Amino acid sequence: MYDYVIQPFVEMVEAPDFLLQVLWEGLVSGILYALIALGFVLIFRSSRIFNFAQGIMVVFAALTLVGLHAMGVPAWIAVAATLFVMFLLAVAIERVVLRPLVGQPDIILFMATIGITLFLIGLGEIIFGGENKVMITEELGIPTGDFVLEPWGGLLILQHLDITVVVVATLLVGALLAFLNYTRMGRAIRALGDDHQAALSVGISLQTIWVLVWFIAGIIALVTGIAWGARAGVSFALEVIAYKALPVLMLGGLESITGAIIGGLMIGILEKLFEIYWGQPFLGGNTETWFAFVLALIVLLFRPQGLFGERIIERV
């Protein structure tokens, strides 16, 4: 019992520099999980649609960026062009998929997002092929070196790429929160999420909001795709990484932006701590593939709406 419970904490105290390294890597992963979860939350709040396609949107955005650059388009022009492609995708999804399904049961809309996922997978493979690609990190000016620190006489390595990811993701989240709280369209998105019927009765356009939130989800997908692609390459396997946001949603609540951010950070840090101090020594490693889901399940047993979700009370 000592080895399983006490020893990991002893190791944390004896090697605080290594603990900082683990916490830093968990923080970087957690921020990326939170970003993806924000895409899910925004679409769910505005339309009550669980967007199963968010994961493939990350892949499609990254593939589009790399593909355009491979065709000779300069890196930052390729970024702008990819954003335009994601806007066109948002318009197409609203016009072709969502608008005809207004008023249909939630399960129909969910199945529609599965259809979008399969369509984007096929389209991506036809246009870009199925082989792995390298993210254009240097062409975008993203630094690739590292800082080496020596806290408590130990060693702490901070990759420039990870620092850039943290800074950009923090700025993006801050800009998104400012947009939702201080702009007319942002308040319209929040109003639609709080009460669909009341929002529609005061003239808020459902179609405009849907295009906007899907485009914002596309922007988030592009930033996440660049970050993950720079770390692990660009391939359809990124879709699986994107679904690590699902336990973040279960933990933080499907409608809570705050929950998505805090839930992402919690899962990123806790899964890394568990993997290093418990998973590898006692469970053979690879616990990062399931730890977040088990943690979310435990939370749901005691709080079904998530830590930051609103309790739903139905009167009968």
Model pTM score:
0.88
Q: Which segments of 71-159 does DSSP mark as H helices, in order?
A: 75-92, 106-128
- The C-alpha atoms of residue 192 and residue 240 are separated, in whole angstroms, by 30
Q: What is the pLDDT of residues 216-255, one digit of tens each?
A: 999 999 999 998 888 888 888 777 777 778 888 888 877 7
- The C-alpha atoms of residue 209 and residue 188 are separated, in whole angstroms, by 8
Name residue 101's amino acid: L
Encoded tokens for 55: 């994961």
Position 314 pLDDT exceeds 60: no
Average pLDDT, integer, range 258-272: 90
Name residue 12's amino acid: M
- The C-alpha atoms of residue 66 and residue 223 are separated, in whole angstroms, by 13
User: For residue 70, which of 126, 123, 125, 139 has the smallest C-alpha distance?
Assistant: 139
**Residue 171: φ, ψ to 5°:** -65, -40
The pLDDT confidence band at residue 153, using thresholds 50, 70 and 90, is confident
- The C-alpha atoms of residue 268 and residue 35 are separated, in whole angstroms, by 12
Q: What is the pLDDT of residues 211-226, one digit of tens each?
A: 888 999 999 999 999 9
Which element (helix H / strand E) includes 156? strand 156-159
Helix, coil or strand: residue 134: coil
User: For residue 264, which of 1, 32, 104 has the smallest C-alpha distance?
Assistant: 32
**Residue 107 class from Cβ within 10 Å (0-12 exposed, 13-18 middle, 19+ buried)?**
exposed
**Residue 147: φ, ψ to 5°:** -100, 140
Among residues of the chain, what percentage have pLDDT more than 70?
92
